[in-house]
């Protein structure tokens, strides 16, 4: 139901040994850059992991569009969002844009025109994704135009996204069918490595559409069936109770031949998932999704104890949860 997050580019084997202070951050399953021959997670990545003192369960809490931040981090292949900085744009930076992923899994890119692209789908090193992203953003704003920003272990005392972004600004994701946004329209031609990465990414991207009638619900198309994945802001226990009430009353359907099959747990929020027939488009989901949202609001408002049938339904929903992060 969820897509795989792209891995960072592997380092070359047989490289010279380097000191611990120079070890860059790479994907957990990639060869450690120190040249030991072991995977990063079993080598210097273990030290970085042990350095984590606190895991922030809801790193995007307090940001506008928290549910969409989660969706773009875990579920949506290709999307961008303009970001507004709390203190305004620095001189020489015309814009800052959040992107789901960048070529070669770069954490960020300072383009030739000075604009910044910040990638959301990269590994966290500090236990606080909002702090990792803030560190990358600050380095991108100071980087030379035309250069990518590499990953690194993030200091535990640094600022978070909530400290850098205007929390009153709108958060409006634009979902794309592919990753052409990597290459500016004004560019004469893409770097061959970027072009190859673009081709691979486009081939792997799952067609995804954001519904317009409800918040943070995303339709996607897969070969066997379509899905609706809906990130919800409600406390997990309260939402499970509400879904159980609806499930026991046959009220979780969002159309003929649709079925609530389970949920993800991602960054402190629940993401209910429906199976849809292959003939059901995103547009077809709009009306039944809005009707379901009304039923869910009623179920969330109830404080009555669950009936025996509702408790059984709740147990089934709990057993079909998958934790992504």
pLDDT reported for residue 9: 38
| Chain centre to alpha carbon of residue 88 | 25
pLDDT reported for residue 193: 84
HSE toward the beta carbon, residue 216, CA cutoff 13 A? 23
Asked if 246 and 254 touch (Cβ cutoff 8 Å), the reply is no
pLDDT reported for residue 11: 36
Cβ neighbours around 23 below 10 Å, total: 20
Helix, strand, or coil (residue 276): strand
pLDDT reported for residue 188: 59
pLDDT reported for residue 64: 97
pTM: 0.83
Q: Where are the beta strands (DSSP E) in 88-150?
A: 96-99, 108-110, 116-119, 147-149
Q: How far apart are the first and last CA of the chain?
A: 14
pLDDT reported for residue 45: 72
Sheet strand arrangement including 259-266? 208-210, 217-221, 226-230, 269-276, 259-266, 321-323
H helices of 96-253, in order, are 129-142, 161-164, 192-204, 236-248
What does the radius of gyration of the chain's CA atoms come to, in whole angstroms? Answer: 21
pLDDT reported for residue 5: 43
pLDDT reported for residue 36: 86
- Residuewise pLDDT in 10s, the chain (325 residues): 444 444 433 333 333 344 445 576 666 667 888 888 888 768 877 655 544 447 899 999 999 999 999 999 999 999 999 999 999 999 999 999 999 999 989 999 999 999 999 999 998 888 999 999 999 999 999 999 999 999 999 988 899 999 999 999 999 999 999 999 998 865 556 678 888 888 899 998 999 999 999 999 999 999 889 999 999 999 999 999 999 999 999 999 999 999 999 999 999 999 999 999 999 999 999 999 999 999 999 999 999 999 999 999 999 999 999 998 7
| Chain centre to alpha carbon of residue 145 | 26
Asked if 229 and 220 touch (Cβ cutoff 8 Å), the reply is yes
pLDDT reported for residue 197: 86
């Amino acid at each position: 139901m969820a897509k795989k997050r792209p891995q960072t580019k592997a380092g070359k084997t047989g490289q010279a040994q380097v000191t611990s202070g120079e070890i860059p951050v790479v994907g957990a399953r990639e060869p450690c850059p120190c040249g030991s021959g072991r995977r990063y997670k079993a080598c210097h990545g273990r030290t970085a992991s042990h350095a984590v003192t606190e895991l922030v369960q809801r790193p995007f809490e307090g940001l506008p569009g928290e549910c969409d931040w989660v969706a773009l981090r875990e579920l949506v292949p290709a999307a961008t969002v303009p970001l507004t900085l709390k203190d305004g744009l620095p001189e020489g930076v015309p814009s800052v844009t959040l992107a789901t992923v960048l070529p070669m899994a770069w954490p960020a890119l300072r383009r030739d025109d000075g604009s910044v692209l910040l990638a959301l789908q990269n590994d966290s090193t500090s236990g606080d994704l909002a702090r990792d992203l803030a560190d990358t953003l600050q380095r991108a704003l100071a980087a030379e135009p035309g250069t990518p920003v590499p990953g690194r272990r993030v200091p535990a005392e640094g600022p978070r996204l909530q400290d850098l972004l205007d929390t009153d600004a709108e958060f409006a994701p634009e979902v794309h069918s592919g990753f052409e946004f990597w290459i500016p329209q004004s560019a004469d031609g893409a770097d061959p490595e970027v072009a190859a990465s673009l081709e691979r990414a486009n081939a792997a991207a799952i067609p995804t559409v954001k519904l317009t009638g409800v918040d943070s619900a995303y339709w996607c198309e897969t070969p066997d069936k379509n899905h609706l994945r809906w990130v919800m802001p409600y406390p997990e226990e309260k939402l499970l109770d509400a879904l159980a009430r609806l499930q026991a009353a046959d009220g979780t359907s969002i159309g003929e031949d649709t079925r609530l099959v389970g949920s993800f747990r991602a960054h402190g929020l629940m993401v209910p998932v429906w199976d849809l027939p292959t003939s059901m488009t995103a547009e077809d989901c709009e009306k039944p999704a809005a009707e379901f949202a009304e039923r869910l609001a009623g179920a969330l408002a109830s404080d009555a104890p669950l009936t025996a049938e509702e408790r059984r339904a709740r147990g089934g929903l709990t057993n079909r949860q998958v934790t992504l992060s």
